[in-house]
Amino acid sequence: MKNNLFGKKTEALSQKVKSGHKFLKEKSMSELLEYVGKTIDLPIAKSFDNSFIQKSSRKSNDHFLTGLGLFFITEKGKVILDCTAGHYQMPWGYSSDITNKAIINAMNIGITWDCHSDIPGNPLKALARELVSIVNGFDGLDDPRLDDIVEADNILNRAIVSTCTGTVACAAAFRMAYVYYKNNYSELGAPVFITWQNNYHGTDTFAQAMRGMWPGLFSKDGVEFVQLEANNLEQVKNTFEKYGKRIACFFFEPVMMNNEALLIKDETVKLMRKLTTEVDAMLVVDEIQSCFFVPELMMFRQYDVVPDAVVVGKGMTGGVHGQSATIFKKKFDNLAQFDALSTNGNAPMAGVSALACINAIKENREHLIEVQNLYFNELKKVASEFPELIEKAMGRGLLGGFKFKDREKAIEARELLLREGLWVRVHAYKEHHRTLLMKFALIIEPEIIDFFFNKVREIFKKL
Ligand SMILES: Cc1ncc(COP(=O)(O)O)c(C=O)c1O
């Protein structure tokens, strides 16, 4: 078949991508670090412009061309060290052999990319089993204990794996909480959904309403949303006293990556678990950001608490085919099939890539612990070296950031780092937000850690 992907631009653009990728492939990590921030020569090829993309997405005048591991090259030829794993979804960086090889093997034995969503094949059924194993701290999908818990009460033993995006998986959990409440407590009035302020649990209208958008769209007779200040134990206690059994659900993210990498503390989660249990409300951990970026695969395993549901997605397939999942206790198994389903969900190859990512994290667990400790300790150290500039280090493990004292300085730091070829993000779109955010891929090594923090020090000295 003729390659005419990009119409008349096909030949020139293909050469450009190929040449950029070859550049990345032929260099070692140390060699690439020397190029970070520099512009390399690439074959001349005119890119497509942005005119057909919606206005709000036209901010940048330089776009992604190709990437490998932690590095990518822009259309203008700039070499970038990606400190945010793409948009936080590629635990193994760009074009990883971990997923590529697993997919090629799978294709060779006849596993297809997609299938009928109604009849998931072995990769997805294996994934459901593996996810249940992980949330229970078992030893993989062959662990015989799995067969003993299928019908157990009060244990995470069901999974919806027919969804692609985090939003749809979160929506599945909201609906389960809603249906459970309606079936058991509807005479008490409208159910109450509790979240932290500045939460982010997806882009559908319900999730957005939970963070205060679309006021008036949901009537208080139908559902009530309550947002609390993160880690404010008094507010949590008062809210449970006020609403009691009207509370259907408490939904939270361990490190709020849309709220300055704010960590929900151990004591907070313990209290949330105690109070939700008392009123028979669903405690849901949104691990869309944290899953597959921690050595335990899911961050809630670092708290000594078992939630009622865990939502995973984003990085689970290593940036290949979108796949999300909701793992929950049997008593919440109350949705019809089409209540939580994406047409492209249940795709065999998404299952293959997720299983490959799980195996790779398990195989590298000790190394990941070591490197993540090194990284986070260094983050805290650098924060303490600049007391005039930095309020504190935020987050945990690879999900972290520098909270600045001054918002403008945070924005300036991001600009300067970007100019130097370090792709970080800044949370400054709300008035009180002032945090530089990073979420490196798992393949970060001590050499990268040194390079990154030395550059950060250089920039911080200039501010
Ligand atoms: C914590 C959290 N929940 C849910 C979502 C929604 O996931 P998706 O963009 O795959 O719909 C995101 C996305 O950034 C997220 O960070």
Structural domain spans, the chain: 7-96+366-462, 103-363
In angstroms, what is the span from residue 168 Cα to ligand 1's centroid?
A: 9
Phi, psi values for residue 148, rounded to 5° = -80, -15
Angle at 106 (CA atoms; ends 101, 111), nearest 5 degrees: 155
In angstroms, what is the span from residue 156 Cα to ligand 1's centroid?
A: 22
Output the pLDDT for position 61: 85
Q: The CATH number of 103-363 is which of 3.40.640.10, 3.40.50.2300, 3.30.70.20, 3.30.1370.60?
A: 3.40.640.10
Q: What is the rounded (10 degree) CA torsion for 99, 101, 103, 109? A: -150
Ligand 1 nearest-atom number relative to CA 287? 1
Output the pLDDT for position 417: 98
Question: What gap in Å lies between CA 315 and CA 388, rounded to an integer?
Answer: 35
Ligand 1 nearest-atom number relative to CA 258? 16
Output the pLDDT for position 338: 84
Ligand 1 nearest-atom number relative to CA 313? 10
Output the pLDDT for position 246: 98
Output the pLDDT for position 45: 94
Residue among 224, 251, 272 nearest 170 (CA): 251
Give CA separation, 119 vs 163, 173, 317, 392, in Å: 14, 22, 20, 49
Q: From first to last of the 463 residues of the chain, give the pLDDT tens digit.
A: 778 899 999 999 999 999 999 999 999 999 999 999 999 999 999 999 888 888 888 778 899 999 999 999 999 999 999 999 999 999 999 999 999 999 999 999 999 999 988 898 999 999 999 999 999 999 999 999 999 999 999 999 999 999 999 999 999 999 999 999 999 999 999 999 999 999 999 999 999 999 999 999 999 899 999 999 999 999 999 999 999 999 999 999 999 999 999 999 999 999 999 999 999 999 999 999 999 999 999 999 999 999 999 999 999 999 999 999 999 999 999 999 888 889 998 999 999 999 999 999 999 999 999 999 999 999 999 999 999 999 999 999 999 999 999 999 999 999 999 999 999 999 998 888 999 999 999 999 999 999 999 999 999 999 9
Question: What gap in Å lies between CA 269 and CA 292, rounded to an integer?
Answer: 20
In angstroms, what is the span from residue 311 Cα to ligand 1's centroid?
A: 10
Pocket test for ligand 1, best of 200, 211, 311 (most atoms within 8 A of CB): 200
Ligand 1 nearest-atom number relative to CA 199? 1
Question: What gap in Å lies between CA 404 and CA 255, rounded to an integer?
Answer: 18
Which residue owns the Cα nearest ligand 1 atom 3? 201
* Protein residues with CB under 6 Å of any ligand 1 atom: 165-167, 170, 200-203, 253, 257-258, 286, 288-289, 313-314
Cα dihedral 83, 89, 94, 100 sign: positive
Output the pLDDT for position 32: 98
Output the pLDDT for position 337: 84
Output the pLDDT for position 339: 87
In angstroms, what is the span from residue 203 Cα to ligand 1's centroid?
A: 8
Question: What gap in Å lies between CA 393 and CA 381, rounded to an integer?
Answer: 9
Name the CATH topology of 7-96+366-462: Aspartate Aminotransferase, domain 1 (3.90.1150)
In angstroms, what is the span from residue 187 Cα to ligand 1's centroid?
A: 33
